[in-house]
Chain A
Amino acid sequence: MNPVQFVLDVLSLGGAYALMALGLVIVYGILRLVNFAYGELIMVSGYTMFLVSGSGLPWLAMAGCGVIMAIAAGIATDYLAFRPVRAKSVTAVLITSFAFSTLLQNAALLFISPRPRAVPLPELFSRTVEFAGVITPVRNLITIAVAVIMLGVFSWLMRSTALGIAMRAAATNFRMARMMGIPANLIISAAFAISGLLAGAVAILWIGRIGTVVPGIGLQPLLIAFIATVIGGMRSLPGAVVGGFLLALIDTALNYTLPQDLLKFRDAFTFSLVILILLWRPEGIVRGPASGQRT
């Protein structure tokens, strides 16, 4: 095992996982609700890229379309699934978010196809380079770069802008934030928009590994994001990032060490380790700020 190869694998997988987890936890932090339609934002982004693939646009413009549609789908989740029932009950929101997820998946099945559809990818994504003595796919390096840039921008946004600070305040104590004049709807829509932006980036990086999009493509990223936030700490944004990288470390280490015939049970090993982590730290590795309640 080459240590450079291992580190590159962990960082590229971890970067994608961290972005997935952040997209889920940004909404959870404010609403205390898991958006089960989060995976479908990734699907929407993938199908958008498929639909514009014949347009002759440069690839970056097509990727941009995918990201914009993911943001739009994120905001639509808020308006259609969350806002109408938000004040009524937590159960109602859980069900509407499931329903919205199913609706989007079935729309893809019905109007596009249950079969995989090719997504345009630049030739660069399938190339490999030699880096520090190892041969690695360029897309892994792109993933690391995108993750670093997005995590940096995200961190700046949450630390230094009025909106970001307001969102952190709302995540700690939603009622008090509103009593500062911070509009609840603005904060929640912003959270969904950021969630969509991250899902759009994840879609490009994730589909870049596979090359195709299917209606159920969002399930695995949703699961990964969920597990990463649970081990990292559901209440903390840095926790989601830590959880993402830790999960990638576990997955990669198992990939390297498990014998060939056990490899198909890798997820069982991963989940066993996740259970151990949770027995050790039930609240996740990074504890969030002391609580307040959702109103």
Chain B
Amino acid sequence: MIRRSSKPISAAAAVMLDIESLEVSYGAVRAVRGVSLRVSKGELVTLLGANGAGKSSTLMAIAGAVRATAGRVRLDGADVSGATPEAMVRRGVVAVPETRDVFPDLTVAQNLQLGAFTRRRDQAGVLRDRDTHFAHFPILEERQNLPAGNLSGGEQQMLVIARALMSRPAVLLLDEPSLGLAPIVVDQIFDMISSLKESGLTILLVEQNAAKALAISDRAYVMRLGRIEADGPASEIAAATELKALYLGAEP
């Protein structure tokens, strides 16, 4: 088994996101128990684990949407522990939760406009970015004046990712973007994540679809019962057969 390495990931790459001993509890349930992880600038890191391993809670705690009971979150060197979700967005960290929350009664265009709420004084730039996303997802442009609730699951996933990007984040936290989508749409979503990484965005991804996620990731962490069990380069994690049982759900 690949054990947690104590040596720095890479001396050269600057650490963008540095999580130290993060704890999240829901009442008596300790969902996250002392998780430490790092994501370097421009890196794509995947967080794997079975259901209930604490991946989503970790992600939501980093985004400020769930209050961490202990631990530290550093962003680009600055301590942002306990920041509100809106403060995290202003600092450049935006999360896409697995619940894929479009605002159903607002139009597609209004959903995108909301994503740029922190940039509302730069309307020209916002419109330019919106057109860029429309170019990537012509279906969103076609349906821009329809309520977002009318879109299919895959279209809604594209919309929430595009909406998150409208704030021009430095770090994107993606929770289960392929959940419940048709295989062809899943491929599109993963292509999109790859190209976001190419563009230099720092991404922390939580995925059940381990094979696909590892194929595009630089590194991965494996969580079990609220703790990090293993970490390493994505290719090594993918090759470590003894880990598969862990993140595919069965006990080893």
Contact = CB atoms under 8 A, between A and B. Distances in A.
Contacts of B149: 289-290
Given A178-B65, A292-B101, A183 B113 contact: no
Contacts of B97: 176, 179
Interface string A57-79: 00000000000000000000000
Given A172-B105, A179-B94, A181-B118, A165 B110 contact: yes
Interface in A169-187: 169, 172-173, 175-184
B104 to A, nearest CB: 6
Contact of B120 (A162, A177, A290): A162
B117 interface: yes
Interface in B162-206: 163, 167
Contact of B63 (A179, A292, A295): A179
Interface string B103-137: 11110001001110110100000000000000000
Chain A: interface size category: 20 to 34
Contacts of A292: 101
A179 B99 CA distance: 13
Contacts, number: 70
Contact of A165 (B63, B89, B114): B114
Contacts of A168: 103, 105-106
Interface residues of B, number: 25
B84 A184 contact: yes
Given A178-B86, A179-B63, A179-B89, A166 B117 contact: yes
A181 B103 contact: no
Contact of B114 (A166, A183, A289, A295): A166
Contacts of A176: 97, 101, 103
Contacts of A173: 101, 103
B104 A180 contact: no
Contacts of B63: 179
Given A169-B103, A173-B103, A180 B115 contact: yes
B104 A182 contact: no
Contact of A179 (B65, B104, B106, B120): B65
Contacts of B167: 180-181
B114 A182 contact: yes
A180 B114 contact: yes
A183 B86 contact: yes
B105 A289 contact: yes
A166 B113 CA distance: 9
B193 to A, nearest CB: 19
A181 B117 contact: yes
B74 interface: no
Interface string A183-208: 11000000000000000000000000
Interface string B79-101: 00000111001100011010001
A182 B114 CA distance: 8
Q: Which of A169, A181, A295 has the most CB of B within 10 A?
A: A181
B114 A177 contact: yes
A165 B113 contact: yes
Nearest to B160: A176
A292 to B, nearest CB: 7
A181 B90 contact: yes
B104 A162 contact: no
Nearest to A179: B85
A162 B113 contact: yes
Nearest to B118: A181
Interface of B: 63, 65, 84-86, 89-90, 94-95, 97, 101, 103-106, 110, 113-115, 117-118, 120, 149, 163, 167
Given A184-B86, A292-B101, 19 more contacts: A162-B117, A165-B110, A165-B114, A166-B114, A169-B103, A175-B85, A176-B103, A177-B103, A178-B86, A179-B86, A180-B117, A180-B163, A180-B167, A181-B86, A181-B117, A182-B86, A183-B86, A289-B105, A290-B149
